[in-house]
Every structure is written in structure tokens, then in C-alpha cells.
């Protein structure tokens, strides 16, 4: 058996996040000089453990950067009307620049209605139809955090986007669709793939850049990837099955040992063996994840600037 080699350059999200935080510090200081402290309100409904972890990390990032954070924690039994009232209150508050409604919401709550009730100027998740429409039109204000973070990784790692063939695997409103638009605006030629794509393997293998965002553990294996391609792994999947771990980490004895010690491991939508084929690859954990939170912080600062008129509303508007 030939020896397994790691060819791929690892694109560390943590290093890029630190760059972005250093840049944000200057903007936050400038706002502070005008007596403005950007504020993020996080709405966490019920007791979902994963949601609690996510919100906690977002609040911690606010504290690290000196942003104000407000946490609203209504019970899981809340109605759509009651949650709408909470959102309306946050829309009116002048100390709140960004509103984040942590998903998923309980089944009795109309999530679309809630997300559409958020003031587009405070929609730091970039989910409101107005902000999605601005992105489609190439005049983005607040863009969904994960795809925006992926663009930062690509640009700051010197990955050529103009003229590149990009395959986005997954078509969700939160990642796949905005990701495709951002890549298209950067002059890549984009194919959006999904569960009904014919010859998925062949389509993905033609790409110079692959963004995997379908939420299926290790689905993109090495034979999907053209040698030297850049692979961005958006997936975060927790595995607990010993046989699955043994198969996934066959070439990664350290990760297998770690799994056996903990009984659990995080893997992306990309198989670990892709590291032997790809030219560059984001790790899981430590790749896209840190950037998602960094872009949430960036959007909160941007929303504060835009709401208070301390920066030109849209640089894109100048390019007519």
C-alpha cells in the first residue's frame, strides 16, 4: 500500500479570524470616540444544548471585542405572536445594532415570519429577504456570516477566484445560495450542486474550488476532488460510531486515538483523506467555524456604522 501523504495547505480559520478582529478593533475604537458602543441582541428560545453553545460563543466574542451584548431567553413554549413582540421591541431599541435569532426555533413558531420581522438594518445574520435581494443585485449590505467568512478565507489565503470554476455542494438559504452569489460576484464560474445533481462526482471533480455544505459527514471523498483544488468544508458533524471513526481516520492515527479517548469526534462534509489530493483545505474544527462568528461581529460593527451614518451606506452604489 502506498504511503499516505498530506499534500494540502491547511487554511486556518483561527489565524484569519484574528486578522479580522484586529481590523475591527480600530473601527470599534472610532465608534467609541463618537460615544457609540455597537450592541448585539441574541434571542435564544428554549433549552437546545447546541444553540446554547453557539450563543455562548457569540456573546464571548462580543465581550472580547468590547461590544455590548443582550441575551433574551424566552421559554420553548413561546408563541409566534409573543416572539414577534420581542423582535419588535429589539427593532425599536437604539442600543441594539444587531439582532440574532438563534435557529432552530420550536415547531409551533413560524420561523420565516420571525426572521422577516427583524429590521433589515439590524439583520446581522443576513437572512432577511431585503438583504438577500441586495446580495442578488450585487449591492450587499449585511451578508450571511458563513458564506461571507468563506470569502474571507479564500481572499486572504490568496486563492484565485476570477475565472475559477467553483462547485458549491448544497443549496440552503443560509450557506449554499448566498455562497454561490458571492463567488459569482467575485467572477468565478459557479455550479450549485444538490441531491438531484446528475453525475455529482464528475461535476465536483471539474472544480478548482469546492465548497461542501450539505450536512452529510465525510460525503466528499478524495475521488471527488481534482488534484490541487481548494476545498472549503462548511460541515460540522459529530460522530460517535467506532466503526465509522475507524474508517474515517484510518490514515490519521492521532485523530483515531483522540476519538477512542473521548468517544466522539467532529468531522466535516469532506472526508479527511481529501488532504492527500487537495491543494488547500479548511480543517474541521478550526476552519470555517471561527470565521462565522468573526463575520457576525463584523456585521454588528457595520450595522452600527450604517445605522448612524458613520460610513457610506454602500460602496457598491458608487460603481454604476
Catalytic residues: 58, 102, 125
d(CA 219, CA 205): 14
Q: Work out whether strand 98-101 and strand 39-43 pair parallel, antiparallel, or are unpaired.
A: parallel
Cell numbers representing residue 77 in the block: 413554549
Within 10 angstroms of residue 262's Cβ, the number of other Cβ atoms is 9
Helices (H), the chain: 13-33, 49-65, 80-92, 111-117, 129-136, 145-156, 176-185, 200-205, 242-248, 253-262, 288-307
User: How many CA atoms lie less than 13 Å away from 121 in the CB half-sphere?
Assistant: 14
Q: CA end-to-end span of the chain, whole Å?
A: 58
User: How many CA atoms lie less than 13 Å away from 237 in the CB half-sphere?
Assistant: 23
Cell numbers representing residue 51 in the block: 444553540
Amino acid at each position: 500500500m502506498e504511503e499516505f501523504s498530506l499534500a494540502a495547505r491547511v487554511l486556518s480559520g483561527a489565524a484569519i479570524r484574528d486578522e479580522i478582529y484586529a481590523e475591527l478593533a480600530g473601527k470599534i475604537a472610532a465608534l467609541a470616540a463618537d460615544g457609540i458602543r455597537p450592541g448585539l441582541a441574541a434571542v435564544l428560545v428554549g433549552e437546545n444544548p447546541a444553540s446554547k453553545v453557539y450563543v455562548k460563543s457569540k456573546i464571548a466574542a462580543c465581550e472580547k471585542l468590547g461590544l455590548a451584548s443582550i441575551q433574551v431567553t424566552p421559554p420553548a413554549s413561546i408563541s409566534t405572536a409573543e416572539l414577534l413582540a420581542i423582535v419588535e421591541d429589539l427593532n425599536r431599541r437604539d442600543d441594539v445594532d444587531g439582532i440574532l435569532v438563534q435557529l432552530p426555533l420550536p415547531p409551533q413558531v413560524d420561523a420565516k415570519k420571525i426572521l422577516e420581522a427583524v429590521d433589515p438594518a439590524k439583520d446581522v445574520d443576513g437572512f432577511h429577504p431585503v438583504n438577500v435581494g441586495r446580495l442578488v443585485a450585487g449591492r450587499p449590505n449585511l451578508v450571511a456570516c458563513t458564506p461571507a467568512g468563506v470569502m474571507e478565507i479564500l481572499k486572504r489565503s490568496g486563492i484565485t477566484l476570477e475565472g475559477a470554476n467553483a462547485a458549491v455542494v448544497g443549496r440552503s438559504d443560509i450557506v449554499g445560495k448566498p455562497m454561490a452569489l458571492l463567488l459569482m460576484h467575485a467572477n468565478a464560474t459557479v455550479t450549485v450542486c444538490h441531491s438531484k445533481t446528475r453525475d455529482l462526482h464528475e461535476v465536483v471533480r471539474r472544480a478548482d474550488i469546492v465548497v461542501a455544505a450539505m450536512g452529510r459527514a465525510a460525503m466528499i471523498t478524495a475521488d471527488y476532488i481534482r488534484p490541487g483544488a481548494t476545498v472549503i468544508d462548511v460541515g460540522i458533524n459529530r460522530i460517535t460510531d467506532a466503526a465509522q471513526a475507524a474508517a474515517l481516520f484510518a490514515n490519521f492515527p492521532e485523530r483515531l486515538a483522540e476519538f477512542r479517548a473521548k468517544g466522539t469526534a467532529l468531522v466535516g462534509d469532506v472526508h479527511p483523506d481529501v488532504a492527500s489530493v487537495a491543494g488547500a483545505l479548511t480543517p474541521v474544527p478550526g476552519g470555517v467555524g471561527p470565521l462565522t462568528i468573526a463575520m457576525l461581529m463584523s456585521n454588528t460593527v457595520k450595522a452600527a456604522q450604517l445605522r448612524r451614518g458613520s460610513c457610506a451606506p454602500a460602496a457598491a452604489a458608487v460603481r454604476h
